[in-house]
Amino acid sequence: MSASDEPTDRPASGAEPTSRFAREVPEGDDHLRLVCRDCGFINYENPKVVVGSVAAWEDKILLCRRAIEPRKGFWTLPAGFLELNEDAATGALREAWEEARARLEIDQLLAVYSIPRISQIQLIYRARLITPEVAAGPETQELDLFEWDAIPWDLLAFPSVHWALADYRAVRDLAVFAPRGNPPGEDGGLSHP
Given the complex with a second copy, which of 8 and 145 has the nearer CB atom?
8
Q: Which region among 59-67, 69-77, 105-113, 161-169 touches a second copy (by CB under 8 A)?
A: 105-113
Told to check if 43 binds a second copy by CB under 8 A, we report yes
**Burial of 105 per CB tally in 10 Å (0-12, 13-18, 19+):** exposed
- Asked if residues 164 and 186 have their Cβ atoms less than 8 Å apart, the reply is no
**Burial of 58 per CB tally in 10 Å (0-12, 13-18, 19+):** exposed
CA-to-CA distance for 87 and 50, rounded, in angstroms? Answer: 12
Told to check if 84 binds a second copy by CB under 8 A, we report yes
Q: Which region among 39-47, 71-79, 142-150, 160-168 touches a second copy (by CB under 8 A)?
A: 39-47
Q: Which region among 17-25, 57-65, 69-77, 141-149 touches a second copy (by CB under 8 A)?
A: 17-25
Backbone angles phi, psi at 166, to 5 degrees: -65, -40
Q: List residues binding a second copy (CB under 8 A).
A: 10-20, 31, 36, 39-49, 81-90, 108-109, 112, 114, 116-117, 119, 121, 123, 176-179, 181-182, 187
